[in-house]
Amino acid sequence: MTVGIYIRVSTDEQVQEGYSISAQRERLKAFCVAQGWSDFKFYVDEGISGRSTKRPQFQKLMNDIESELIDVLLVYRLDRLTRSVRDLHNILDFLDSHKCTFRSATEIYDTATAMGRMFITIVAAIAEWESANLGERVRMGQIEKARQGKWAAQPPYGFNKDENHQLHIDEYEIKGVKLMVQKVREGLSFRQLSIYMGSTEYKPKRGYKWHIRTLLDLMHNPVLYGAMRWKDDLYEGTHEGIMSKKEFDQLQKIITSRQNYKKREISSTFIYQMKIVCPDCGNRCTSERTTWKRKTDKVTEVRNNYRCQVCALNKPNEAAFRVREIALTDALLNYMQAVSVAAPTAPIKVENDDPSIEIKKEIKRIESQREKYQRAWASDLITDEEFKSRMDDSRLRYSELQSQLEQTDTPVKSENDLIALKKTAHQFKDNFPELNDEEKRAFVQMFIESIQIDVVERPKGKGFRNQRIEISDVKLY
């Protein structure tokens, strides 16, 4: 009999009340020993609420139960499993359908009888009420904190907070904030401001560069004039600011007046939206439109283009990759015309030097190693710190291998697959040019996952003159 022991802790209060991971583990292990269960496995979710079932280890436990690897689901208390009556009934039905028994170490439930199910439902309803009531008290406490001028979250840039959660000016960072305000008043856009601040000595509290959204949030924050916003309420005079309310309102008018409210008279259909992979950085290109009026008859011309926004933001001094939609269509047709698929006489076999084989072996080895770590931790052969350190190290390597596997693990095509591909290629060459833009977009979005591009010749200047591209690969869904 295999026992799946589920442990969850979400708040510091539970740790103080004795519901910590270590405390639950010791009590549940002792319970298993008393019951004569020697084969047990731990599933631990730390810092996650029980209001939802979207918990990594809980989902892993459910998958193991579905695979019939677990015979008994054991928890310390019912509220460790869930705080939702609806989720409880779904879990119990799931356990029944896979012949898995539910047990609680501190409570006695007999889910086989109507009386037992009624009793467990009442307990779950109380746990759900307790959770909702706690949430209401926390919200009321946060509102009262804001009314008293106490800052509950991380202080904004330019400020710090004392042990009483009161905001105070940070003498060094506030110079950077004043510089931002000055540059906005001088006419810098927020894109220009992000580039300018990146060249100064002032660095953001999180991350390595200033983002437009970060700067906008800071310039819109009433903390600059000594006020605090919580939800829809504004509490003024909570701390010392760097400007008056009148100056802050004036700053907001300056920012608002520079926003571009264009009424779009032209709409475009972007055929390859989010399908083009940037050849320089590997990210997806975004869509953009160019419009102009012809000098002869004043007719408005529209051209769709695709540009790598990541390169444009991270490399402001270099020209980001851009390509015209019409050039993409020509290149795609050339690529499909060049597709030559010969049906093999025998099914294609996987070669021995397939790198995915070794990667899968390494992934299995790490999974086995992590299982041993869990058993050693459950048997007190390693400390909690050693267990966490080893699991973190193996998790990093496991993630790297999963990423490598996704890049190398391509499906092997059978003879029928290759014949179907050849037929699709011929149909594409014959029919795609005859479709309108909406039909082309529908086809591309439905069947094409990504388009890889090789730049044969870079354009000269800012436009597309002399640019030559080729499509190197088209991945289908």
Query: Which residues are designated catalytic?
Result: 10
Q: Which H or E run contains 422? A: helix 415-431
Closest of 322, 274, 325 to residue 303, by C-alpha: 325
Residue 110 and residue 235: Cα distance in Å, rounded? Answer: 53
Q: How many CB atoms neighbour CB 142 within 10 A?
A: 15
Q: Exposed/middle/buried for 241, CB within 10 Å: 0-12, 13-18, 19+?
A: buried
Q: DSSP letters along 319-341, please?
A: PPPEEEHHHHHHHHHHHHHT---
Instruction: Please list the alpha-helical segments (H only) found in 98-241.
Output: 114-147, 173-186, 190-198, 212-220
8 A C-beta contact, residue 285 and residue 293 = no
8 A C-beta contact, residue 70 and residue 2 = yes
Q: Which H or E run contains 73? A: strand 72-75
Pairing of strands 276-277, 286-293: unpaired
Three-class DSSP category at 49: coil
